[in-house]
Amino acid sequence: MPINNTIIFIVELLLKNVAKHVQLNKEEEQILLDSFVLTRHPARTKLLKSGEVCINSFFVVSGILRNYCLDDNQANEHTINFATTDWWIADMYSFLSQKPGNSYIEVVEDAIIMTQSREQQLAIFERIPKMERFFRILMERSLIANQQRLIDNMALSAEERYKRFCQRFPTIKYNVPQKQIASYLGVTPEFFSKMKKKLLMEK
């Protein structure tokens, strides 16, 4: 794909994502686009490390990002979320408070992303109040999804959670290491391996 077409595709992806919830005019669209920076990163790049302030939030154009943290003794990873094409991701606590966080954001699969700093975001809220609405709705939806995941973790077995995961992230299933899926579901890689085998044999 020629570079110009690629850039048109990226711009459209972001604008359509916003247009799902609020209508912007051409001028507003341009102001919004100017507040983002387009970057590419190979797999394994760490975009954020524990202890740092999460200055930026990321809109994923292609590839896969992952937000995770370590438990108290630094022994186990817990995946907070994955993000693929057309998703937003950040360390919410650190990004919103602009204080040091305790999570990591890493590139799982080579990624093209649109980056917006908290400073730029707040400036956009002032210049385009409709974007305040957009992020309110984004927060509302994240909260609902997160609440549902919490309930699933309490009410469902690991097997059922895995089935829901496959529905929610149909593509991710084949593109991230199994141990990362396990750490999203809240089980060990060993148990996940056993569970997967059992599911295969049942078919």
Partner DNA sequence: GCGAGTGCTTAATGTAGGTTAAGAAAAATA
Partner DNA sequence: TATTTTTCTTAACCTACATTAAGCACTCGC
Please report, as residue ranges, which positions from 56 to 85 form the binding site for a second copy (by CB under 8 A).
Answer: 69, 71-72, 76, 78, 80
Q: Does residue 178 bind DNA (CB under 7 A)?
A: yes
Query: In whole angstroms, what is the distance from residue 91 CA to residue 83 CA?
Result: 12
8 Å CB contact between 123 and 117: no
Using the rule CB under 8 A, is 33 a contact of a second copy?
Answer: no
Window of 52-60, 80-88, 90-98, 156-164 that interacts with DNA by CB under 7 A: 156-164
Q: Which residue has the tokens 């711009």?
A: 11
Q: Which stretch binds a second copy (CB under 8 A): 57-65, 113-121, 144-152, 167-175?
A: 144-152
Residues 119 to 148: which contact DNA by CB under 7 A? none
Q: Which stretch binds a second copy (CB under 8 A): 34-42, 58-66, 127-135, 166-174?
A: 127-135
Interatomic CA distance for residues 55 and 115, integer angstroms:
10
Residue 38 dihedral angles phi and psi, to the nearest 5°: -95, 125
Determine if residue 51 is left, alpha or beta; phi over 0 gives left, psi from -120 to 50 gives alpha, anything else beta: left
Q: Is 31 exposed, middle or buried (0-12, 13-18, 19+ CB in 10 A)?
A: middle
Give residues in contact with DNA (CB under 7 A).
Answer: 43-44, 76, 157-159, 177-179, 186-197
Give residues in contact with a second copy (CB under 8 A).
Answer: 69, 71-72, 76, 78, 80, 92-93, 96, 125, 129, 132-133, 135-136, 139-144, 146-151, 153-156, 186
